[in-house]
Amino acid sequence: MSVLTRDEAQTRAQLLDVHHYTVDLDLTTGDDTFESTSLIRFSARTAGTTFVELRPDTLHSAVLDGAPLDVAALDENRLPLALTEGEHTLSVTATMRYSRTGEGMHRFTDPTDGEAYVYTQLFMEDVQRVFAAFDQPDLKAVFEVSVTAPDGWTVLSNGITERQADGRWKAAPTPLLSTYLVCVAAGPWHSVRTEHAGLPFGIHCRRSLAPHLDVDADEILDVTKACFDRYHEKFDEPYPFDSYDQAFVPEFNAGAMENPGLVTFRDEFVFRSAVTDTERMTRAMVIAHEMAHMWFGDLVTLRWWDDIWLNESFAEYMGFQTVNEACADRFADTWIDFGVTRKSWGYEADQRPSTHPVAPDPDAVPDTASALLNFDGISYAKGASALRQLVAWLGEKDFLAGINIHFKRHKFGNATLADFVDNLAAATDRDVHAWAEQWLRTTGVDVLTPRLEGEGGTWRLTVDRRGSRPHRLSVGVYDRDAAGDLVLRERVGADVPQEAPITLDGPRPALVVLNDGDLTYAKMRFDEVSEETALRGISRIPDPLTRAVVWNAMRDMVRDGELGGAEYLEFAAAHLPEETELAVVQGVLGFARTQIADRYVSEAERPAALATLTAITRDLLRRTEDGEAPGLRLTAVRVLVDSATTPDKIASWLDEGTVHGGPELDPELRWRILARLAVLGATDEAAIAAELERDPSATGREGAARCRAALPTAEAKEAAWSAMFASDELSNYLFTATAQGFWQPEQAELLRDYLPRFYPDAIAMAERRGPAMAEAAGRRGFPAYAVDAEALALGERHLAEDTMIPALRRQLTDQLDDLRRALRARG
């Protein structure tokens, strides 16, 4: 398939004005394909040649201004058009193929009840998998969509839909939209509907998930309404569409997609099993994130994909901030979770060879294939961190004033970074342009270290900076009280670089925490006294956000080889059983289990690391026996299961259907235990089949695939490998589940022969199945367990010599850099 280049998009935008699409889809023609007809009204400013994009199974006809075009002229995904100056109509009729990879029109059959569902994911360049279009974000148009669907189905779209007398569903015409934002979701949905602010609101899921959605419907709708109201307090422009539907759809690749009026979410957010409050907060944040896109991304859209951060960084920042404001009675400080989970994602991405500026140079994003690579921790987490720092520096009042100027000037149009910065600058006398150059056009993570000089009752604090960005931050100064607890003496505002040292009166502080409040984006280090205090006394710090900042600093020190993984585990064992903030516990245990135990300690040290994690989780279980902290207990149970080195205890839980003292085992915990038993060689195919009969859902199928791939037999491994790489039958989710089960540190000898097979097989599969599956192969299918020089040399050789699609090359580049870091940490 030919990818669209930036130059081609600019040329086509200079030639065309696109006015209106009439799209007619027929979903009643079979399980493999559907029929698509599109009528496009557009005009050419001058005579010229261009093309329309389409990726059909069969192209039946194309008619330009009443004259048939040669369908054989379709070259890969491009149908050439020769145009005269003036108005034109183009009609294209084709048979299109359903997807199993989460791209284009994805079709899913629910194994629980046999019902089928379809939905579109048209992001970047996938509209052409559904209908013919001029597929670039700055050629906005009005869309009128009609769908013929099987009896008993409901069709959802960007506008309010109605079933016509002829059985077709017709959606209301949209305002001006970019092609990638068009959405259709069809099937026998279970729906919960209400009205808010004079608009219809709805949430929708598969029928088999109906009981689970109904349990949480009030919470989901309450969060939706609270965020909707809060955005109307922040933004001058009202919500610009005619309804607000949220559909939880199966096998969705992303967390969610901001289609105007019809946001699609991965349906894991309809919780089938017990979850923690932090996971509920994550769902609320995703709801708020996608709603922010209604203004930033949908109302005002990027002109080209180099400015994707304008969409994602803004929505990421607004999602966390708005839940923090609108749902404070339901959820604790969301910025703790951001610091522990999202920010670390940004730090890691920004230290790899594939790093890029938050706002890359346009020449660095020459086509859609390269643009797709920028959906990473930099465009989301680092960009959101930069915006949070901008708000700290600019003030929220001026920040929102600039945002509202931006909406007013560009509504229903397209905008660039330059437009955004100009509009912010119009609301303040600060030099926003200089700030943008320093923060948005640079790469890497600054490192800030405090230095204390003085004696007696006066101390001078200076901040050493490794890096180039200015930082506005809050410095926390702590003393020890008689009981040994740390007490905040004061928080001091500071700008780095400093004009003069900060003077501190009183005894030498026991602890100085730079970035107390986590307002800037930089790695923190400590002076010698503070480091000893922090490492030995994290649980004595009173504020959970400050503790999160300190734990993140420790995480960075491990990743940078300044603190041993075993030492980190010792500190976790000493302090985590006393930690009250769930997000911190989840973050620390997650890093310790997946990175330290699996990668950062040697094979000989791994049993001791798992034993330490088991001891920590048992301490947490003892602490939560009274039932007062169910989320903490659930987190401990999950990590204890994943860290088990002998099967007896967890096998008894599976047999009895409960953890002693609770919780009872729900499907998620049962599959988790069975997967660990498979790794340990303590279960078999018969037990997996019996569990799948007990839970025949889509999630159950994924659990069974994960368990089967984890079995330590040659036959199981070969069957899993063949399913992943020799056949294209696995859907995106079943591929990921199989890959998650396949590579296990406990099975290194059994897996040895698969290491050299991974690269050629993954490259071939990615070429056949495209970017989404390439990302799954590189992210989930990579042999991350193999941390040795031989594995690194093998990967580097293939990366240097082999041709592969960009999505896979990016994943493998990052994986090999993480492998180098793990080797350094072991050293």
Active-site annotation, residues: 290
The C-alpha atoms of residue 120 and residue 133 are separated, in whole angstroms, by: 15
700-733 burial by CB neighbour count: b if 16+ within 10 A, else e? bbbbbbbbbbbbbeeebbeebbebbbeeeebbbb
What is the SS3 assignment for 39?
A: strand
> Kindly report the CA angle at 53 between 52 and 54, in degrees rounded to 5?
125
Residues 6+ apart with CB under 8 A from 592: 568, 569, 572, 609, 613
Q: Are 243 and 261 within 8 A, CB to CB?
A: yes
* Token digits of residue 453: 């000089």
What is the SS3 assignment for 157?
A: strand
* Token digits of residue 252: 């969705």
> Kindly report the CA angle at 29 between 28 and 33, in degrees rounded to 5?
115
* Token digits of residue 179: 């092609």
Beta pairing class for 502-505 and 458-466 = antiparallel
Q: Is 106 exposed, middle or buried (0-12, 13-18, 19+ CB in 10 A)?
A: buried
Question: Left (φ > 0), alpha (ψ -120 to 50) or beta: where does 244 sit?
Answer: beta
The C-alpha atoms of residue 442 and residue 358 are separated, in whole angstroms, by: 8
* Token digits of residue 579: 């930690």
End-to-end CA distance of the chain: 45
Residue 798 backbone phi and psi in degrees, to 5: -65, -40
Q: Are 230 and 325 within 8 A, CB to CB?
A: yes
What's the residue count for the chain?
827
The C-alpha atoms of residue 778 and residue 521 are separated, in whole angstroms, by: 28
* Token digits of residue 88: 């034109």
The C-alpha atoms of residue 174 and residue 76 are separated, in whole angstroms, by: 30
Residue type, 754: Y
User: What does the longest C-alpha to C-alpha distance in the chain come to?
Assistant: 91
Beta pairing class for 300-302 and 262-266 = unpaired
